[in-house]
Structures are given as structure tokens and as C-alpha cells.
Amino acid sequence: MTENMSDSINIKIQYFAALREITGCACETLSVQVGSNPKTVYQQLNNQYDLPTQKRLKIAINDCFCSWESVLTSDDTLVFIPPVTGG
């Protein structure tokens, strides 16, 4: 039990625009494997939601633009950013 818990971390995910409508929530906490990155988290979420292709999305971790390969740490806030349409 202790070993399993140490193998996973909790992260927070915020959703915006179309992704918020698909998931039905503005944010959620997710338990992910240690060493996870946005790419693996997106694959994990895709089992739960009918998400669009990741090709056009950008990534932010803790309010900074990051890459899909950035390794996540405990309590990080991850955002998948759909193509922007402001202005």
C-alpha cells in the first residue's frame, strides 16, 4: 500500500474552452504515476473523455508554457491549451 502510494503523485488539471465542455469540469485532481508528463497524462485522460487530438494543443505547468515531455511533480497544475481565439 505504502509502496503504491509512493509510486503516484497528485496533480491538478485545469480545463478551458472546448476542453471544459468535453470534460464537464473547470478543474480536477488526478493521481498519476511518478515520472508522468503531459503526454502520458493526456493519454490517461483520453480513456475517460473523448478528447481532441493533442497535435494542436499547447501545455502550461504552473502558469508557464512547457513541453509535452516536461516531467510533472506533486501538486503541479497542468493546463492543456486549445488553439487561442482571442481578439
Partner 1 sequence: MTNFSITSEPIVSAELIIQLEDPDCGAVATFSGIVRQHNKDREVTQLHYQSYKTLAVKEGNKILGEAKEQFNIVNALCVHRVGDLNIGETAVWVGVNASHRDAAFNACRYVIDEIKTRVPIWKKEIYVDGDSGWLEGAG
Buried b (16+ CB within 10 A) or exposed e, 52-71: eeeeebbbbbeeeebeeebe
| Residue 85 is a binding residue for partner 1 (CB under 8 A) | yes
Considering beta carbons, is residue 39 or 82 the nearer one to partner 1? 82
Residue 70 found at the interface with partner 1 (CB under 8 A) = no
CB of 78 to partner 1, least distance (A): 12
Q: Does 83 bind partner 1 (CB under 8 A)?
A: yes
* Phi/psi-derived region of residue 60, left when phi > 0, alpha when psi is between -120 and 50, beta in every other case: beta
Contact between 82 and 16 (Cβ < 8 Å): yes
18 binds partner 1 (CB under 8 A): yes
Which of 8, 44, 60, 70 is in the footprint of partner 1 by CB under 8 A? 60
Size of the site for partner 1 (CB under 8 A): 19
Residue 1 interacts with partner 1 (CB under 8 A)? no
**Which residues are registered as beta bridge partners of 78?**
13, 61
